[in-house]
């Protein structure tokens, strides 16, 4: 039996818990990784998910901002919730999930800082924070590789807040100086990927030149018609695990659900 994993920036889990329930009822992933949950651990709406069969829950949250969580109907073990940049932000949680064969996969659920509006670290502390966050990811991967990627394999997923490829944005030329697609960010994200030779399975299975987005701004009156999106959400697998990934879905239709997040889920299936 395969292991299916969904990742979704939900933009407030309490406000949109019904949408997570809808994702579960329609797609039944074994594991759901959420970002930008925007609530402290003791306020997380665990009961609705437990009733749906997701009794294994790991949370790293904070009041009003950021926050990540993992919901699972498979055996789950929390490994670490690592702080980054000494900011006190809840932006990472790692868990081990068992496949049906007993093989355990480590999942790193990330919410990388958005970076504000001005792509200049000298005048924008939020952008400086984003670049430092990427540098810390690279340093951690190199210094503590067994924790990041044990022998059975590992996954990085979540809202990495960077659209790395020209085909990951609606206009490469117009967004080159816009935070999320500037060269310093895309170069930084590529250095993160290369640190452990992670495989971007979404773009492996849906390769360029096809345009692909996971985020559309709330500012657009008709997001679907304008289609000015960006691929900010990602799923990367270690090379030894990537061959087990045999299906990738980007649920574009979720952007049109009632009171939606501005991001949509990605679901991957692993034959383990």
DSSP 169: B
Q: In terms of Cα–Cα distance, which of 99, 94, 98 is closest to 59? A: 94
Question: For the chain, which residues score pLDDT lower than 70?
Answer: none
* Cα dihedral sign, 221-210-169-19: positive
pLDDT score recorded for residue 78: 82
- 232-252 pLDDT, tens digit each: 999 999 999 999 999 999 999
pLDDT score recorded for residue 99: 78
Chain position carrying tokens 């919730």: 81
As a whole number of Å, the end-to-end CA separation of the chain is 7
Query: What's the whole-model pTM score?
Result: 0.97
DSSP 231-258: --EEEEE-HHHHTTEEEEEE-GGGGGSS
Phi (first) and psi of residue 93, to 5 degrees: -150, 140
DSSP 35: E
pLDDT score recorded for residue 272: 87
pLDDT score recorded for residue 35: 98
pLDDT score recorded for residue 101: 77
pLDDT score recorded for residue 246: 95
pLDDT score recorded for residue 98: 86
Long-range residue pairs from 214-222, CB within 8 A, at least 24 positions apart, any chain: 214/250, 214/263, 214/264, 214/266, 215/9, 215/262, 215/263, 215/264, 216/255, 216/262, 217/262, 218/262
Q: What residues contact 49, with CB distance under 8 A and at least 6 apart? A: 17, 20, 21, 24, 55, 57, 71
How many other CB atoms sit within 10 Å of the CB of residue 177?
11
What is the architecture of the domain spanning 3-270?
A: 4-Layer Sandwich (3.60)
Burial of 249 (0-12, 13-18, 19+ CB in 10 A): middle
């Amino acid at each position: 039996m395969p292991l299916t994993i969904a990742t979704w920036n939900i933009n407030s889990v309490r406000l949109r818990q019904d949408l997570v329930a809808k994702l579960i009822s329609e797609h039944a992933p074994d594991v759901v990784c959420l970002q930008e949950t925007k609530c402290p651990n003791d306020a997380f709406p665990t009961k609705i998910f437990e009733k749906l069969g997701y009794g294994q829950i790991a949370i790293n949250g904070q009041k009003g901002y950021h926050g990540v969580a993992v919901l699972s109907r498979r055996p789950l073990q929390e490994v670490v919730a690592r702080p980054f940049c000494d900011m006190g932000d809840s932006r990472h949680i790692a868990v081990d999930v068992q496949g049906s064969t007993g093989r355990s996969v480590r999942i790193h659920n990330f919410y990388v800082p958005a970076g504000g509006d001005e792509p200049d670290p000298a005048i924008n502390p939020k952008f400086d924070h984003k670049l430092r966050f990427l540098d810390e990811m690279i340093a951690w991967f190199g210094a503590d590789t067994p924790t990041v990627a044990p022998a059975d394999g590992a996954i990085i997923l979540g809202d990495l807040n960077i659209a790395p490829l020209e085909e990951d944005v609606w206009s490469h030329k117009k967004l080159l100086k816009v935070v999320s697609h500037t060269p310093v960010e895309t170069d930084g994200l590529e250095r993160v990927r290369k640190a452990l030779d992670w495989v971007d399975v979404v773009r492996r299975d849906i390769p360029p030149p096809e345009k692909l987005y996971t985020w559309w701004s709330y500012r657009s009156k008709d997001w679907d018609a304008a289609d000015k999106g960006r691929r900010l959400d990602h799923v990367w697998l270690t090379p030894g695990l990537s061959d087990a990934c045999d299906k990738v879905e980007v649920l574009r239709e979720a952007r049109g659900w009632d009171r939606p997040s501005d991001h949509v889920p990605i679901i991957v299936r692993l034959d383990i």
